[in-house]
Amino acid sequence: MIVQSPARVRGKYEQPIASIRYDDASVRKVPFGDLRLADFTWSVPWRKFRSVHGQTHYSGRYASATMAGPVVYESRLELARLLLADMDPAVRGIYAQPCHLTARVGGRVRRHVPDFLLVMDSGVVRVVNVKPADRAADPKIAEALAWPGELVGRHGWEYEIWSGADRVLLENVRFLAAYRRPGLVPEADIERAWECVRDGDRLGVAERRLAAGRPDHEARPALLALVWSGRLTTDLSRPLSGDWVLRRSA
C-alpha cells in the first residue's frame, strides 16, 4: 500500500495532513511530515465524547495517573489498552484521538482518527490503534489500518495495532489501578513499605514484616501502590496472591 508523496499527487491533499483540535475549539492543519510532539500541547480528542441511552459501544472518561486528568475511550478494549499505558512507567504522555489524518492512498482520499498517541520516556512516540483480533483480520479493516501505519513509520514514529492481552494480566492491572490516585495511600506509608520490602520477597512475607503486629491486610495497599507505580514489579500473568514475588526496580 502506497501513501503517495507530493511529487506524485496533484490536486487536493497533495500531502498527508494531520488536523488537531485544541481546547479553545480551534483546529490546526499540519502537513504530516512537519508534525511534532509539541503540536499536541493543549490539544483535545478529535471526536467529542458522546454517551446516549441504548448505544452499542462502551465509552467513558478514565482518570489517568499519567496525565493527572481524564482520557477518553470508546470501548472496553480501548480502556484495557489505556490502563496498560497508564501503569507503564515508560509512558509519560497519553493522548486519545490525537488527530484526524487525511491522505491520498492509491489515488483515493482516505481519512483516519488513531485511538491513542503514547509518548515514551525515551522520546519515542507511538501511535496505537485498538481493534479486536477478529475485526483486525477482516481485509477491509486491515487495509484501513495499514496506511496510517505506513505513514507513521515513514515519519520515524512507532505504530501498534493492539487486539488484547492475557485475561489475568488485565484483571490484575484493573485491580491495581485502584491504587493509582495520589493520596489514596498516604505517601509516608508507601515510603515505609519501600524501605521495608526486600528484593525477592513474596507479597505475604512483605506484608507481615511491614504490618509489624497489625493485621497483614492493612499493609497491602502500600505494597500494591508500589507495584502500580513500577517501583516494585512482579509476574502479573499470575492471579493476585501472597505468593507474588516482588522485585525492586533499579
**pLDDT tens over the chain, length 250 residues:** 545 444 444 446 579 999 999 999 999 999 999 999 999 999 999 998 666 556 556 899 999 999 999 999 999 999 999 999 999 999 999 999 999 999 999 889 999 999 999 999 999 999 999 999 999 999 999 999 999 999 999 999 999 999 999 999 999 999 999 999 999 999 999 999 999 999 999 999 999 999 998 998 899 999 999 999 999 999 999 999 999 999 999 7
Please check whether residues 73 and 150 belong to one and the same domain: yes
Q: At what angle do helices 76-87 and 167-176 cross, to 10 degrees?
A: 70
Q: Is residue 40 domain-shared with residue 76, that is, in the same domain?
A: yes
Are residues 153 and 42 located together in one domain of the fold?
Answer: yes
Domain that holds residue 86: 6-162
In the listed set 162, 185, 205, which residue is the last one of a domain according to the structure?
162
Specify whether 21 is located in the same domain as 114.
Answer: yes
Which CA distances in Å does 28 have to 31, 41, 148? 10, 12, 19
Task: Say yes or no: 58 and 90 in one domain.
Answer: yes
Q: What is the pLDDT of residues 142-169, one digit of tens each?
A: 999 999 999 999 999 999 999 999 999 9
For the whole model, what pTM was predicted? 0.90
| Distance separating the N- and C-terminal Cα atoms of the chain | 43
Closest CA to 115 of 160, 84, 146, 158: 160
Residues 180 and 157 in one domain: no
Return the C-alpha cell found at 175: 485491580
Residue 229 maps to a domain: yes
Looking at the structure, tell me whether residues 124 and 36 fall in a common domain.
yes
Q: How many domains does the chain have?
A: 2
Q: Torsions phi, psi of 21, nearest 5?
A: -100, 140
